[in-house]
Structure 1
Amino acid sequence: MSDKDAGTPRVFLFRHGITEWTINGRYTGKTELSLTEKGKQQVIGTGRMIVGPGKLIDPSKLARVFVSPRVRAKQTFELAFGENDRYDLDGEGNLTETEELAEWDYGAYEGLVTREIRALRKEHGLDGEREWDIWRDGCEDGESPEQVTARLDALISEIHAIQGPNMHGEKVCDVVLVAHGHILRAFVKRWLRYPMEFPLSMMLEPGGVGVLSYQHHNVEEPAVLVGIGFPIQ
């Protein structure tokens, strides 16, 4: 990133560390699971490497931290950020826990793996000609792609309102999102103005961090993915 681009606000995507269901590949939406010991170490390692004064995520340069209300996301925030930083962010009104960042509501598919979901849908007379794809088909008794799009677009509008007046470095206003695998990938699609079904090849490892920014220092210009980081083991 050039010096000119260095003042452009960024959005950091921080995925929570692994849980028992992450290991098993089970879809985890509203179920409250804690991080495993390995998951905690993933987050602590990443936090030590990139969170702190003068580091990639500098708490003094954050305008807002948005955190999913799920336990595993809140644990991730607490492990990645120091106690003083958490206290300052909260005291300054820059820490927001929001359902807009909750994981996709999987409804009837909660706790299942992909093959079980596809078998269940066939039992229900669905997907006769094509296999289930969450980005296109959503979840029975859970959220549709349109519902996820609506809540993420609302969050993106809020972020644009924070960062829009500061596109040329007038005031430091980076934003951090602490959340989950599917919802963060969905966020990237909407940030880039793609529909949910757009086949965007992207993975964010548990405990990993991604970075989003803007083109040409203009909130109205197409947004770009700057890079994806991986958890520090």
Structure 2
Amino acid sequence: MADKDNSTPRVYLFRHGETEWTISGRYTGVSEIPLTANGEQQVLSTGRVVVGAGKLVDPARLARVFVSPRKRARTTKVQVTADISEWGYGAYEGLLTAQIREARRAQGLDAQVAERLDRLIATIRAIQGPNMHGEAAADVVLVAHGHILRAFVKRWLGYPMEMPLNLMMSPGAVAVLSYSHHRVDEPALMMGVSLPVQHKE
């Protein structure tokens, strides 16, 4: 991000760490699948690298943290919201993508998810809109799940849910959204971010 854009609010998307079902590729909606030991380490490692004073996610710049109500994403001192929870897969729970994709589309389930995400995006933009030049802390963190975060990016950018936009996000990873030209009506996906320089003390 160019220096002139450093004050533009950001939305950080954190995916929860690895579970047994992320390893096998199974859909995990409402099932409470715990993180593996490796998944716990992924989250801790990511946090140590990117969260803290002077780091990519600086708590002094945060206005809000939204977390899915699922145990694998939840932490303390955050606002838990069902708007960013993974959708319920019902009979699809535990199945693979190839077994599900067409049936979901036929049932119109994606429209319900789009409505939830649009509501959350409106909340975020209401927080960030008045602070497009760093007037107040306005960064937002979302901690959730792979599928819902990929859907969130589509809706953030104004794309319909059915648009084929292949996005990937590893367990324990972070992605960044922001705005072009300090304008709340120009949402953007940051293709890459440089980490702040850490000076040795």
TM-score, length of structure 1 as denominator length: 0.78
- Any idea what the Cα deviations from partners look like across 1:180-201, whole Å, max 9, x if unmatched? 0000000000000000011112
2:198 maps to what in 1? none
Give 1:181's aligned amino acid: G
* Residue equivalent to 2:26: 26
Segments of 4+ moved more than 4 angstroms: none
For residue 127 of structure 1, what is the aligned residue in structure 2?
none
Aligned to 1:128: none
Query: Which residue is 1:162 aligned to?
Result: 127
Partner SS for 2:63: strand
Q: Is the CA contact 1:7–1:172 (under 8 Å) kept in the aligned structure 2?
A: no
Mark the runs of 5 or more structure 2 residues left unpaired by the alignment: 194-201
CA separation in 1, counterparts of 2:164 and 2:171?
A: 21
Aligned counterpart, 1:132: 102
In 2, the alpha carbon distance for the partners of 1:227 and 1:65 equals 22
Alpha-carbon distance in structure 1 between the residues aligned to 2:41 and 2:28: 20
Cα deviation for residue 114 of structure 1 reads 2.9
1:204–1:228: 8 Å Cα contact kept in structure 2?
A: no
CA–CA separation in structure 2 for the residues paired with 1:178 and 1:228: 19
Q: Deviations over 1:69-119 (max 9, x none)?
A: 000001xxx4xxxxxxx6xxx3xxxx310000110221110011234x25x
Corresponding position of 1:107:
90
Partner of 2:157: 192
String of CA shifts for 1:146-174, please: whole Å, max 9, x gaps.
Answer: 00000000000000000000001111210
Note closer, same or farther for the CA distance 1:160–1:201 as it changes in structure 2 (3 Å cut). Answer: same
* Match in the other structure for 1:35: 35
Aligned length: 193
* Distance 1:228-1:146 versus aligned 2 partners, 3 A rule: farther
Query: In the alignment, which residue of structure 1 is the partner of 2:138?
Result: 173
Which of the two has higher C-alpha Rg? Answer: 1
Corresponding residue for residue 56 of structure 2: 56
Q: Show CA shifts across 1:9-37 (max 9, x none).
A: 00000000011111111110000111000
- Three-state SS of the structure 2 residue aligned to 1:188 is helix
Aligned to 2:199: none
Shift of residue 209 of structure 1?
0.3
Secondary structure, counterpart of 1:73 in structure 2: coil
Unaligned runs of 5+ in 1: 79-85, 119-130
Give the Cα separation in 2 of the matches to 1:211 and 1:147: 24
What is the Cα deviation at residue 133 of structure 1? 7.2
Q: How many Å separate the matches in 2 of 1:72 and 1:30?
A: 11
Q: Judging changes above 3 Å, is the alpha-carbon distance between structure 1 residues 66 and 228 closer, same or farther for their aligned structure 2 residues?
A: farther
Distance of 1:177 and 1:133 partners within structure 2: 28
Q: Percent of aligned positions with the same letter in both sequences?
A: 61
CA distance in 2, matches of 1:228, 1:183: 21
Give the direction of change, closer, same or farther, for the CA distance of 1:23–1:204 in structure 2 (3 Å limit).
Answer: same
Counterpart contact for 1:100–1:151, Cα < 8 Å:
yes
Conserved? CA contact 1:46–1:207, under 8 Å: yes
